[in-house]
Amino acid sequence: MALSLDAAATPAASACPACVAAPAAEAMARAARAGEGARILLSVPQAHCGACISTLEQGLEALPGVRSARLNLTLKRIAVDADPGLTAADLIPEVRRLGYAAHELDAGMLAGTDTDPTGRDLLMRLAVAGFAMMNVMLLSVAVWSGAEAATRDLFHWISGAIALPTVVFAGQPFFRSAWGVLRQGRANMDVPISIALILASGVSLYETIHSGRHAYFDATVMLAFFLLVGRYLDHRTRAAARSAAQELAALEVPRALKLEGGTEQLVPVAALVPGDRVRVLPGARVPADGIVAEGTSEIDRALLTGESLPAFAGPGTALAAGEVNLTGALVMTVTAAGRDTALSRIAELVAVAEAGRGRFRSISDRAVRFYTPFVHATAFLTFLGWFWSTSDLRLSLNIAAAVLIITCPCALGLAVPAVMTSASGRLFRRGLLIKDGTALERLAEVDAVVFDKTGTLTLGRPEAANLGAHPAGAVALAAGLARGSGHPLARALIEAAEAAGIVPAAVADLHEVPGYGVEGRAPDGRRVRFGRAAWAGAADEGAAGGLTAAWLGVEGEAARAFTFTDRLRPGAEELVATLRARGLRLALVSGDAEAPVRGLADRLGIDDWQAGALPADKVARVAALKAQGRRVLMVGDGLNDTAALAAAHVSISPASALDAARTAADVVLTGTSLAPVAEALATARRAVGLMRGNIVISNLYNLVAVPVAILGFATPLAAAIAMSTSSITVTLNALRLGR
Amino acid sequence: MQILSWLIPISLGLGGLGLLAFVWTLKTRQYDDPEGDARRILNPDWDDRPKP
């Protein structure tokens, strides 16, 4: 399978027949295959329709150097085969021109998710079990309707010839898992399943050999079929979440610009070692922990500490992996790389927090714990009872096998996976990715929510707040200066000025002083500066009221403060209002300064807030709520939230969060809006209700069928009917959740 | 009853054919993009001649 995939993924590199003869051809082909341009993966989240397919594929194939492009609409990904040398950066503008946002994906990181060998393996076994079930059932109907003597024996023999190899092949996932846990002296759902499959096949074979009346071949393969359906659904849900989570991780292609002997080299971040010198360009993420060696700039620490105000960085400033360089290019000396970076300081906290969370017992865990001993005890007692009263080993074994087959957790194996599939599918379409199997059940219990501020309730993107407080001339001047910088505050100011209809002033000699601001000459010849307070000539920094501010300093005039607030994440206001209306306890815990936190808490109406919180404070906050007996949902995105995310009963993080935070979270929001969180809580409650309902339904069937089986009245027909109706009922019940 | 010796092999053979067809679709990766393939069939681009 893997071979054919490779062949399909890499086109024949030797276009001319002569090349084949050349000794270097193969090496060249290999180089082309390994080269940057051979296969490019782009994520196109907006692709949704048939027209998107032709627009994107034809648009990309029209580009020089592109051999073929294929859009996978299910995964919303384009795979492009291109000449070596072509990179994602060449393709993304074209995709954007066609009207879609695109991100490069790290093809290496996604290598495993395309194929999903386990899923295909399960599907194959499912198909074989389905084929066998239909054919055996066809023969069984004849037996049920009264085939006698030689005809019945013949049909039993044919059924056995189909069923036995099927059980051996299709039952393997159960046998393997059962054997694995039995060797460790434990039991799971697969143990009773395996015993039922083996015992039923054995008894049926014995009956067939001795031309008995009842053979359970049909029930055996049906059992295998329905259980495989449950297993496949379970796998699909998990595989979809895993592949999407991997895609999020693959969005950050981690590379660093390493300086070596005067040249710059693009190297994977993993290859950095302490002592390396690395250039960090404006707008790039700091790849490792280190100390600034050259250059000045401003650093956005929001993801690490929650501070919304950028910090100054010059030679000697310590940088941590994950911070974003804003204005000037920096050269840093790496002090710690890879696993030793800032992450590790948090990792310890996360480990402690996770240990405190304890293992959550899911509904199906609890059901199995009760179920397994019950099934085995019932079957064994039935056998003993019948053997004691009749001394007929064959009859007793037959009846015990019937009990095992009827009680076998067929519907139970479907009850939870079917609901999980329909619930996570529904949430996925609304932009929520359920990473953990038990996350839905935990979400359903939530009665308190703790929010992080920067990057979670807000977008971490500033918005000009007090444009109206300044004369239009000053705003025009500031906007004119801001055009000289890519700093987020400058961008926000230009945007706000445009929205207000103010034309930026023409500033001469415009140049950026990294780490400080922008300087230039106003139309009247005076020197003007826009940036840090002291540099722009502000006497009193307090005039900004503790808010994020950039100052406009005009020679001979008092500096003016342009304040900024963090832009609210779409859906945040509605979410907080909905949750409050539902009576959940809300809290806001942020690492940011007091003024912005208080401002946001007032705006959203959250009474319970805390500013300047360290990662440990956030964990303590979650633990305190837990100690009050509350089930806490933590919503956060930064490295400083990671430990709290792990400590909380259940956690959600936005897709823009750092990798570490996404890993710690149980649910990831794939869109920008926070609104789906409320939906997730509601859906989780309904899903858990349906799971419980399903388990009750499958137990109800047992309540009726088990006494019948114990008394020896169960026929293969009764077993088949009980099994199929209960399985279909729980599946239909799960579908009530809706799309 | 003689007819059974024909009918049973035929029914098994037809079922087996269905199984083989499914195995073929699985092996040729036809389930990788169900949503896209459902739309592609409505795409008129290569209706006149096959894609080179």
Q: What is the CATH number of domain A2-105?
A: 3.30.70.100
The CA dihedral of B1, B3, B7, B8, to the nearest 10 degrees, is 40
Q: State which residue of chain A sits closest to B46, comparing Cα positions.
A: A54
In-domain check, residue B23: yes
Residue A622 in tokens: 């979650």
| Fold of the domain spanning A462-565 | Calcium-transporting ATPase, cytoplasmic domain N (3.40.1110)
- Which residue, A411, A439, A445, A414, is CA-closest to A424? A439
Tell me where in chain A the CATH 3.40.1110.10 domain(s) lie: 462-565
Q: CB atoms < 10 A from the CB of A236, how many? A: 19
Q: Quick one: pLDDT at residue A27?
A: 40
Residue B44 in tokens: 């008129």
Chain B environment of A50 (Cβ under 8 Å): 39-40, 42-43
Q: Flag if A123 and B31 touch (Cβ within 8 Å).
A: yes
- State chain A's mean pLDDT as an integer: 80
Chain A environment of B45 (Cβ under 8 Å): 54, 58
User: What is the DSSP secondary structure assignment for residue A284, as one 8-state letter?
Assistant: P
Q: Residue A621's Cα: distance from chain center in Å? A: 26
pLDDT digits (tens, 9 = 90+) for A12-68: 333 333 333 333 334 444 444 444 446 788 888 777 787 888 888 888 888 888 888
- Name the phi and psi angles at A264, rounded to 5: -100, 140
- Which residue, A408, A18, A5, A56, is CA-closest to A216? A408
Q: Flag if A151 and B1 touch (Cβ within 8 Å).
A: yes
In-domain check, residue B19: yes
- Which residue, A236, A249, A248, A246, is CA-closest to A116? A236
In-domain check, residue B3: no
Q: What size, in residues, is chain B?
A: 52
**Strands across the sheet containing A77-82:** A66-72, A77-82, A39-43, A103-105
Q: Quick one: pLDDT at residue A8?
A: 35
Lookup result for tokens 């792990």: A646
Nearest to B33 among A5, A73, A135 (CB): A73
In-domain check, residue B51: no
Mapped onto helix, strand or coil, the DSSP state of residue A495 is helix
What is the set of active-site residues of A? 452
Tell me where in chain A the CATH 3.40.50.1000 domain(s) lie: 432-459+568-675
A344 has pLDDT over 70: no
Q: Are A432 and A668 in contact (CB under 8 A)?
A: yes
pLDDT digits (tens, 9 = 90+) for A523-580: 888 888 888 888 887 766 665 666 778 888 888 777 888 888 878 888 888 999 999 9
Chain A residues within 8 Å of chain B (Cβ atoms): 1, 5, 49-50, 53-54, 58, 71-75, 114, 120, 123-124, 127-128, 131, 134-135, 138-139, 151, 154, 158, 162
Question: What is the identity of the amino acid at A631?
Answer: R
In-domain check, residue B6: no
Nearest to B8 among A54, A120, A158 (CB): A158
User: Which helix (H) or strand (E) element contains residue A163?
Assistant: helix A149-170
User: CA angle A622-A623-A625, nearest 5°?
Assistant: 65
CA distances to A126, A427, B35 from A233, in Å: 11, 16, 18
Nearest to B35 among A54, A73, A151 (CB): A73
User: Which helix (H) or strand (E) element contains residue A332?
Assistant: strand A330-336
Nearest to B22 among A71, A127, A135 (CB): A127
Q: Which domain holds residue B20?
A: 11-40
How far away is chain A from the Cα of B17, in angstroms, using its nearest Cα?
Answer: 10
- B31/A contact by beta carbon, under 8 A: yes
Question: What is the identity of the amino acid at A262?
Answer: G
- Which residue, A459, A353, A24, A406, is CA-closest to A200? A406
Beta strands in A232-329 (DSSP E): 255-260, 263-268, 277-280, 289-294, 297-300, 311-313, 318-319, 324-325
- B17/A contact by beta carbon, under 8 A: no
Q: Phi-psi category of A19—alpha, beta or left, where left has phi over 0 and alpha has psi -120 to 50? A: alpha
Q: Quick one: pLDDT at residue A355?
A: 60
CATH superfamily of A432-459+568-675: HAD superfamily/HAD-like (3.40.50.1000)
Q: Are A643 and A621 in contact (CB under 8 A)?
A: no
pLDDT digits (tens, 9 = 90+) for A77-109: 888 888 877 777 788 888 888 888 777 776 665
Q: State which residue of chain A sits closest to B33, comparing Cα positions.
A: A74
Q: Quick one: pLDDT at residue A607?
A: 87
Q: Quick one: pLDDT at residue A71?
A: 87
- Residue A668 and residue A666: Cα distance in Å, rounded? 7
Chain A environment of B18 (Cβ under 8 Å): 131
- B21/A contact by beta carbon, under 8 A: no
Query: Which whole number is the average pLDDT over A116-142?
Result: 88
- Residue A425 and residue A240: Cα distance in Å, rounded? 9
Q: What size, in residues, is chain A?
A: 739
Q: What is the CATH number of domain A255-340?
A: 2.70.150.10
Q: Flag if B43 and A75 touch (Cβ within 8 Å).
A: no
Q: With the C-alpha atoms ordered A526, A529, A534, A538, is the resulting torsion angle positive or negative?
A: positive
What is the tally of helices (H) and strands (E) in chain A?
A: 26, 26
Could you tell me the pLDDT band of residue A633, with boundaries at 50, 70 and 90? Answer: very high
User: What is the DSSP secondary structure assignment for residue A625, as one 8-state letter?
Assistant: H
Tell me where in chain A the CATH 3.30.70.100 domain(s) lie: 2-105
- Residue A439 and residue A237: Cα distance in Å, rounded? 13
Residues 6+ apart with CB under 8 A from A691: A363, A364, A415, A416, A419, A420, A441
Could you tell me the pLDDT band of residue A251, with boundaries at 50, 70 and 90? Answer: low
Q: Flag if A138 and B11 touch (Cβ within 8 Å).
A: yes
- B32/A contact by beta carbon, under 8 A: yes
- B33/A contact by beta carbon, under 8 A: yes
- B48/A contact by beta carbon, under 8 A: no
Tell me where in chain A the CATH 2.70.150.10 domain(s) lie: 255-340
Q: ipTM exceeding 0.95?
A: no
- Which residue, A516, A454, A508, A464, is CA-closest to A485? A516
In-domain check, residue B27: yes
Q: How many Cβ pairs closer than 8 A exist between chain A and B?
A: 54
**Burial status of residue A573 (CB atoms within 10 A of its CB: 0-12, 13-18, 19 or more):** middle
Q: With the C-alpha atoms ordered A522, A527, A528, A529, is the resulting torsion angle positive or negative?
A: positive
pLDDT digits (tens, 9 = 90+) for A458-511: 887 788 878 878 888 888 888 888 887 777 788 888 888 888 888 888 888 888
- Name the phi and psi angles at A405, rounded to 5: -65, -45
Domain count, chain B: 1
- Name the phi and psi angles at A160, rounded to 5: -65, -40
- B16/A contact by beta carbon, under 8 A: yes
Q: Quick one: pLDDT at residue A733?
A: 87
Q: Flag if B32 and A72 touch (Cβ within 8 Å).
A: yes
pLDDT digits (tens, 9 = 90+) for A160-210: 999 999 999 999 988 998 898 888 877 777 888 888 889 889 988 988 898
Mapped onto helix, strand or coil, the DSSP state of residue A410 is helix
How far away is chain B from the Cα of A70, in angstroms, using its nearest Cα?
Answer: 10
Q: Quick one: pLDDT at residue A249?
A: 65
- Residue A308 and residue A311: Cα distance in Å, rounded? 9
- Residue B9 and residue B13: Cα distance in Å, rounded? 6
Radius of gyration of chain A (CA): 32
CA distances to A389, A694, A709 from A346, in Å: 66, 41, 57
Could you tell me the pLDDT band of residue A343, with boundaries at 50, 70 and 90? Answer: low
Q: Residue A487's Cα: distance from chain center in Å? A: 31
User: What is the DSSP secondary structure assignment for residue A544, as one 8-state letter?
Assistant: G
pLDDT digits (tens, 9 = 90+) for A409-443: 677 778 888 888 888 888 887 888 887 778 888 88
User: What is the DSSP secondary structure assignment for residue A587, as one 8-state letter?
Assistant: E
In-domain check, residue B31: yes
Q: Flag if B12 and A162 touch (Cβ within 8 Å).
A: yes
- B20/A contact by beta carbon, under 8 A: no
